[in-house]
């Protein structure tokens, strides 16, 4: 195990003050694996350390709120007659800038898992996208076109393969997003009130199961990567982009919903950002317990993986399930029915620790609550918003009516899409971002019409 130097600490995105905080939590120096664990869990992507103080200003309670935003994997709202909807939106910006197809596809896969982890059946997805200008012959325009095509294809691919429709979305173009798109994906599912599942490790002595795709080196430390500034050097981070398998996720979806209906589950958590690290420490923290796992038992698709790589991998289509003791055989039967890799990898204990073993050796031992919920919070300076005076604002051109296209691809300069991935797509010509003027489609004719 290499010595922890200031250079290694900085490479993990840990500031000197944050490292001193880690020393106080542990009462000792962390090893390299523990430093990696802190780096992903205290990244902006997982901890929201730079934005949480602002996000707390939003309302999260109400008479119909069953699960608050930020409380679990998704929020849940009562819609009457014993029914509820679970929904969530999240971004996959940096991965999509590096590898647009897989970055967008795995963003869709991740948000779908958040929904069925709550016990809901996903019924539709949506998206909100931002790109740089795709017009012209410049190298930047060509890059923006490549990103645009890759993201749209990735979203359509994952949704079509898993069978969850993308019913709508929006796309805007502006030079500020050149080479660095925003890819926000949304999913909604439906469930009965009594079907709401929780991501908490409850019940000391309950077994901890891993289920889903085998762990590989794809997506390694992806949460930390997604929290860093995107630069030219980020091209070297291509291995940090996850690779999705929507067909495996379809099996996982059905298996998890059957598993939740069986009454065998004490807690369930998606292995999304920060992978196995996040799922173990967050379930322990929510349950007020500890979780101990052995990485030697984790299903792997590559040989020679270290605890660091296994814990920080963000291989897709994986779940951590806390099973009620004595129900192990039922759980195994469900996993085998759906032809999913699985393993009994650990146990819930009462010491509040996230403990990771590699056989008889302890690789990680960190207090779960302080790791998952007590990242440092920062109040960042913000420049005052300055609106242009009416006299200096550019005049908005008359909006171009929408065009309706069927079974054909519109000219590349037509910039508005409903993002559905279907054969019929709505497009309009561009307007300056400051105007965003639109007129609604007047018909569903298959032929393009102009006014």
Tens of pLDDT, residue by residue over 344-356, are 999 999 999 999 9
Residue 225 has pLDDT above 50, yes or no: no
For residue 232, the model assigns a pLDDT of 56
Residue pair 39/49 in contact (Cβ under 8 Å)? The answer is: no
Tell me, yes or no, whether 410 lies in a domain.
Answer: no
Tell me, yes or no, whether 265 lies in a domain.
Answer: yes
Residue 308 has pLDDT above 60, yes or no: yes
Tell me, yes or no, whether 430 lies in a domain.
Answer: no
Tell me, yes or no, whether 234 lies in a domain.
Answer: yes
Tell me, yes or no, whether 330 lies in a domain.
Answer: yes
Name the domain count of the chain. 1
Residue 433 has pLDDT above 50, yes or no: no
Beta-carbon contacts of residue 135 (< 8 Å; ≥ 6 apart): 141, 412, 413, 430
Q: Which residues pair with 362 in a beta bridge?
A: 357
Residue 424 has pLDDT above 60, yes or no: no
Q: Using pLDDT thresholds of 50, 70 and 90, give the confidence band for residue 444.
A: very low
User: What is the distance between the alpha carbons of residues 270 and 111, in angstroms, rounded to a whole number?
Assistant: 10
For residue 390, the model assigns a pLDDT of 64
Q: Mind listing the pLDDT tens digit for each residue in 57-93?
A: 999 999 999 999 889 999 999 999 999 999 999 999 9
Q: Using pLDDT thresholds of 50, 70 and 90, give the confidence band for residue 265.
A: very high
Tell me, yes or no, whether 83 lies in a domain.
Answer: no
Residue 427 has pLDDT above 90, yes or no: no
- Say what the pTM is: 0.81
Higher pLDDT pick, 434 / 78: 78
Higher pLDDT pick, 413 / 267: 267
Average pLDDT of every residue of the chain: 85
Residue 437 has pLDDT above 80, yes or no: no
Residue pair 147/100 in contact (Cβ under 8 Å)? The answer is: yes
Q: Kindly list the catalytic residues.
A: 45, 92
Domain that holds residue 358: 1-57+198-381
Residue 382 has pLDDT above 90, yes or no: no
Higher pLDDT pick, 307 / 240: 307
Q: Using pLDDT thresholds of 50, 70 and 90, give the confidence band for residue 272.
A: confident
Residue 206 has pLDDT above 50, yes or no: yes
Tell me, yes or no, whether 252 lies in a domain.
Answer: yes
Tell me, yes or no, whether 442 lies in a domain.
Answer: no
How distant is the alpha carbon of residue 318 from its chain centre? 13
Q: Which residues pair with 187 in a beta bridge?
A: 88, 125
Q: Rounded mean pLDDT of 247-256?
A: 97
Of 15-29, 90-104, 225-239, where does mean pLDDT reach its minimum?
225-239
For residue 403, the model assigns a pLDDT of 38
Q: Which CATH number covers residue 24?
A: 3.90.650.10
């Amino acid at each position: 195990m290499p010595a922890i130097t200031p250079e290694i600490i900085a490479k993990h995105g840990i500031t000197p003050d944050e490292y001193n905080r880690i020393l106080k939590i542990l009462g000792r120096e962390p090893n390299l694996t523990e430093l990696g664990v802190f780096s992903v869990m205290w990244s902006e992507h997982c901890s929201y350390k730079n934005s949480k103080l602002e996000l707390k200003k939003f309302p999260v309670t109400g008479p119909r709120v069953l699960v608050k935003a930020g409380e679990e994997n998704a929020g849940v709202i009562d819609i009457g007659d014993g029914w509820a909807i679970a929904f969530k939106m999240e971004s996959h910006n940096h991965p999509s800038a590096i590898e647009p197809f897989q970055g967008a596809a795995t963003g869709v896969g991740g948000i779908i898992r958040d929904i069925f982890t709550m016990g809901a059946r996903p019924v539709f997805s949506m998206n909100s996208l931002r790109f740089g200008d795709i017009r012209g012959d410049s190298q930047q325009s060509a890059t923006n076109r490549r990103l645009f095509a890759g993201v749209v294809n990735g979203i359509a691919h994952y949704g079509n393969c898993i069978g969850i429709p993308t019913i709508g979305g929006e796309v805007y173009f502006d030079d500020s997003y050149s080479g660095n798109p925003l890819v926000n994906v949304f999913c909604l599912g439906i469930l009965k009130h009594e079907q709401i599942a929780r991501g908490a490790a409850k019940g000391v002595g309950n077994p901890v199961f891993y289920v889903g795709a085998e762990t590989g080196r794809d997506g390694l430390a992806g949460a930390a990567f997604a929290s860093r500034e995107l630069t030219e050097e980020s091209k070297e981070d291509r291995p940090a982009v996850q690779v999705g398998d929507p067909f495996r996720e379809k099996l996982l979806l059905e298996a998890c919903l059957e598993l939740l209906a069986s009454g065998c589950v004490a807690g369930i958590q998606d292995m999304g950002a920060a992978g196995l690290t996040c799922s173990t420490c967050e379930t322990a923290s929510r349950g007020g317990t500890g979780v101990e796992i052995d990485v030697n038992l984790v299903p792997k698709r590559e040989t020679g993986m270290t605890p660091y790589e296994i814990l920080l991998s963000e291989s897709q289509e994986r779940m951590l399930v806390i099973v009620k003791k004595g129900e192990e055989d039922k759980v195994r039967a469900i996993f085998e029915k759906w032809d999913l890799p699985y393993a009994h990898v650990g146990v819930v204990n009462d010491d509040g620790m996230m403990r990771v073993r590699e056989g008889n050796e302890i690789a990680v031992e960190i207090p779960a609550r302080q790791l998952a919920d007590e990242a440092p919070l920062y109040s960042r300076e913000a420049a005052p918003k300055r609106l242009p005076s009416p006299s200096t604002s550019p005049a908005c051109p008359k909006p171009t009516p929408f065009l309706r296209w069927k079974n054909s691809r519109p000219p590349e300069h037509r910039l508005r899409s409903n993002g559905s991935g279907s054969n019929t797509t709505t497009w309009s010509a561009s307007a300056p971002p400051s105007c965003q003027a639109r007129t609604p489609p007047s018909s569903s004719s298959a032929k393009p019409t102009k006014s």
